[in-house]
Structure 1
């Protein structure tokens, strides 16, 4: 489990095929900042651009580790096949860690496309077009993970092409993650909020009837008004 708080920015240093065809997947060599691997062991989980991966080899002297990624994972994620690309890293959450972002599983739900990324005053506005399949999980002020970073949705605009979400990025986030490398047309990994996933499932199963949801909303509105 992760929280969407990036613990380092690495770089794809090498890409090797695991077999004679693309169906075998690939082995990625990741270079990391000095000292990043001091508390990392073989078999540990590290999220790469939001996708949970397993450390298969370690080379602390060279500040590198490798992961093996299946063809299916490569097909369902973005940003992991470009040699030299910077990627966001997050080590798995420990019981003693602070939950600074939100609960993140490291399982990518879909790939979005950056439609706009530009400075606005002292911050940056990032707009991403998400697939139709994720539309029902996106909400104003809700949480979403973009390339492994826990972020808050400022607005949602549904269209025939999908749902465009707007995110405000502070300078610290732009400077300390790989999000600053994005541009219009870039593809990004998206993971929806775990709570939204379970609410959707309960609605499908009839556990939360529409009338019950309306009653909850009415009660909440009354409480906040008081």
Structure 2
């Protein structure tokens, strides 16, 4: 489980085919290598991936994860290249502060970023790097996105500002833009999306009741 609060921006440093359909990715991070262990779960740009190898490097640690064919097809991992920056979050521990919302790291699909608008006040002065992002969700999961609800985008826990059909928007403050990959996001980018777990269960409960279960 995760919270959607990004703790580091990693960098893809190598990608290699591994055991047929698997793809092994090596990621450089600022994590303390003493806190990483084999089999640990790390959310990488949204998907929860398992550490299969790791080691120390100056100022942090490198670690390797394997991505299966389904993960490559259903997330943006298939687009990643050497040099791609990636939002990282370690799995939460019992007793950790839940600063975002409950995130599983199971990506539901890929959203399209259709607009980025910088926010200004009535006098036209900029509020810094605050920005509104407008996205189009896959139609099959659009119903799970609600105004004032939570959504996970590229591993980041965000609050939905507005929804109209399959179009929704989120507002990012300067701090979030600075410590995540969102500062470089532009229209046309593909974004990993995970809907709120509670919304999914509520929808399933309603479906079951309607079917008489």
Q: 2:161 aligns with which of 149, 154, 161?
A: 154
Distance in 2 (CA, whole Å) between partners of 1:171 and 1:208 is 46
Residues 79, 85 of structure 1: 8 Å contact kept? no
TM superposition shift of 1:208: 11
Does the aligned pair in 1 maintain the 2:4–2:100 contact within 8 Å? yes
Counterpart CA distance in 2 for 1:87 and 1:183 is: 15
Task: Give the SS at the match of 2:135.
Answer: strand
The aligned residue for residue 215 of structure 1 is none
TM-score (normalised: structure 2): 0.90
The residue that corresponds to 1:220 in the other structure is: none
Give the drift of 1:19: 4.0
Q: Deviation above 2 Å: which 4+ runs of structure 1? A: 35-38
Q: Which runs of 5+ in 2 are unaligned?
A: 121-126
Alignment of 1:131-142 (within 5 A): 131-142=138-149
Q: In the aligned structure 2, how far is the partner of 1:149 from the partner of 1:8?
A: 11
Distance, in Å, in 2 between the alignment partners of 1:52 and 1:146 is 13
Higher strand proportion, which one? 2
Look up the match of 2:196.
193
Distance, in Å, in 2 between the alignment partners of 1:181 and 1:36 is 26
1:60-71 to 2 correspondence within 5 Å? 60-61=56-57, 63-71=61-69
State the TM-score, normalizing by the size of structure 1: 0.85
Cα distance per residue 1:103-151 (max 9 Å; x no partner) = 0000000100100113113210111110111111011100000000000
Distance 1:179 1:53 in 2: 21
More helix, by proportion: 1
CA–CA separation in structure 1 for the residues paired with 2:32 and 2:151:
26
Q: What RMSD, in angstroms, separates the aligned Cα atoms of the two structures?
A: 1.6
Q: 1:208 to 1:117 in 2, by over 3 A?
A: farther
In structure 1, C-alpha distance between the alignment counterparts of 2:111 and 2:92, rounded to whole Å: 25
User: Aligned match of 1:56 in 52, 57, 60?
Assistant: 52
Q: Could you say which residue in structure 1 is the equivalent of 2:15?
A: 15
Counterpart for residue 137 of structure 2: 130
Q: Distance in 1 between matches of 2:76 and 2:55?
A: 25
The question of whether the paired residues in 1 share the 8 Å contact of 2:71 and 2:77 is answered with no
Output one character per residue of 1:76-100: Cα deviation in whole Å (capped at 9) or x when no partner: 1114522211000000010020000
Q: What secondary structure is seen at the aligned counterpart in 2 of 1:96?
A: coil
Q: Which residue in 2 is equivalent to 1:98?
A: 97
- Residues 79 and 119 from structure 1, CA distance in 2 versus in 1: closer, same or farther, beyond 3 angstroms? farther
